[in-house]
Amino acid sequence: AQSVTQPDIHITVSEGASLELRCNYSYGATPYLFWYVQSPGQGLQLLLKYFSGDTLVQGIKGFEAEFKRSQSSFNLRKPSVHWSDAAEYFCAVGGNRDDKIIFGKGTRLHILP
Partner 1 sequence: AAGVIQSPRHLIKEKRETATLKCYPIPRHDTVYWYQQGPGQDPQFLISFYEKMQSDKGSIPDRFSAQQFSDYHSELNMSSLELGDSALYFCASSSGRVNTEAFFGQGTRLTVV
Residues forming the site for partner 1 (CB under 8 A): 32, 34, 36, 41-44, 46, 49, 51, 90, 94, 96-106
Pick between residue 41 and residue 113 the one whose CB is nearest to partner 1. Answer: 41
Choice between 105 and 110, CB closer to partner 1? 105
Q: Report in angstroms how near the CB of residue 103 gets to partner 1 at its nearest.
A: 4
For residue 54, what are the contacts with CB-CB under 8 A and spacing of at least 6?
A: none
- Pairing assessment for the beta strands 107-112 and 10-14 based on DSSP bridges: parallel
Residue in 93, 110, 81 with CA at minimum distance from that of residue 34: 93
Give 28 or 97: the residue with its C-beta nearer to partner 1. 97
Coil/strand/helix, residue 17: coil
